[in-house]
Amino acid sequence: MATTATTATMTSKFPVRRVERSRRPSVDFDNLPFGSIWSDHMFVADNIDGAWTGAEIRPYGPMEIYPSSKALQYAVSMFEGFKAHKTPEGDLVVFRPDMNQKRFNRTASRFVMPELPEELFFDAMRELLDVDRGWLPDAAQGALYIRPSYFGTDPTLNVTPGRSFRFVLMTTPVGLYFTGSQTVSLVATRKFVRAFPGGTGAHKPAANYGPTMLASVHAQEQGYDNVIWLDGHEGRFVEECGVMNMWFVIDGTAITPPLEGTILPGVTRDSLIQLCADFGIPCEERRISVEELLDAHAAGTFEEAFGSGTAATVQPIDRLGLDGTDVTLPQHPDSVAARLKAELYGIQTGRIEDRHGWLWRP
């Protein structure tokens, strides 16, 4: 339960009004749903005509917004997502938030929104994590998912760049993104397309995610968990899967589609490429077609498939629906996916040396 007393503090040049620390919440940390239980507080700041103002930490809850705002009318809205973990010493560490901060501003620029100063981004996170530190689960139970959101608040129907925006930072304790089965199944879709060149596939606007839901429903109606997104021109080349980056292991080589403007440059994806180099696992960033996957399956060289992302980290895939053919992939404890996932988790939670300087300590 949060306290309501407020104090004034100064983080660098941004004056912030904040509340006192939360007490340890009465939450079953051993059975956490994903993104459904929110911590006591949120950080809020507004940008009006290019100036940041009104920065404060307040109790998490509803906010007033005009129904004519650009966020609601024209989807001028975006977000990021990353995690804080607890180390064996009880410290709170955040995994590669600098990457998310840079991607956040790339998306903001794409929507003609003022960039969020790096200083404000990290000060807001530091202040909020200090207030709601008690919501951090033990590493074996999960993590504290950090969700920055940013949206246009102008109450006008002009389809022009906005003048007012709001930045909100929230946290939610989370367990595993996928529950039950430790693997997922995917089916390639040509009925739906996620992104085209020149669009926003490499960014994180909210509007990228709503349209994926119908494709997911169609996949589930066919007996799969989610979809494999193919390129929009030829419908041949794999791009992403569900809301994750896509990986394949063929004849000992890890392959992930290249960043050519339609694929989100995932922080986990970038980390896994480095871990492949650390392990001496051959890794290629290149286009890969459905036909190549089917040929590799027929030749017996298609060994693994997995997705990567902040929420699921590394998610093994045991079945792929490719042009009417079901490709089943046996799971092995020493798989590339298992090795990468264990190494990544160990670094994120401070159990393995942070040799690349990926952990940020508030």
- Residue 54 in any domain: the answer is yes
> 157 and 246 in one domain?
no
CA-to-CA distance for 55 and 12, rounded, in angstroms? Answer: 12
- Residue 156 in any domain: the answer is yes
- Residue 357 in any domain: the answer is no
> 199 and 153 in one domain?
no
> 28 and 154 in one domain?
yes
- Residue 124 in any domain: the answer is yes
pLDDT at 207 over 50: yes
The whole-number average pLDDT for the span 341-346 is 96
Phi-psi region of 324 (alpha: psi -120 to 50; beta: other; left: phi over 0): left
**At which of 174, 206, 222 does a domain end?**
174
pLDDT, one tens digit per residue, over 87-117 is: 999 999 999 999 999 999 999 999 999 999 9
pLDDT, one tens digit per residue, over 162-203 is: 999 999 999 999 986 655 458 899 999 999 999 999 999 999
Mean pLDDT of the chain: 93
> 119 and 188 in one domain?
no
Domain limits at 317?
184-348
- Residue 354 in any domain: the answer is no
> 219 and 169 in one domain?
no
> 189 and 140 in one domain?
no
Does this model's pTM top 0.85? My answer is yes
**At which of 174, 203, 226 does a domain end?**
174
> 194 and 73 in one domain?
no
Contact yes or no for 244/313 (Cβ under 8 A): no
CATH code (residue 243): 3.20.10.10
> 331 and 219 in one domain?
yes
* In the chain, alpha helices (H): 70-74, 97-110, 118-131, 212-221, 267-279, 290-299, 336-348
- Residue 230 in any domain: the answer is yes
pLDDT at 5 over 70: no
> 166 and 216 in one domain?
no
- Residue 147 in any domain: the answer is yes
The Cα-based distances of 186 to 22, 142, 215, 305 in angstroms read: 41, 25, 11, 10
> 237 and 132 in one domain?
no
> What total of structural domains would you count in the chain?
2
> 68 and 112 in one domain?
yes
* C-beta atoms surrounding 170 within 10 Å: 20
> 44 and 153 in one domain?
yes
- Residue 101 in any domain: the answer is yes
CATH code (residue 161): 3.30.470.10
**At which of 128, 154, 174 does a domain end?**
174
> Given this model, what pLDDT does residue 180 score?
47
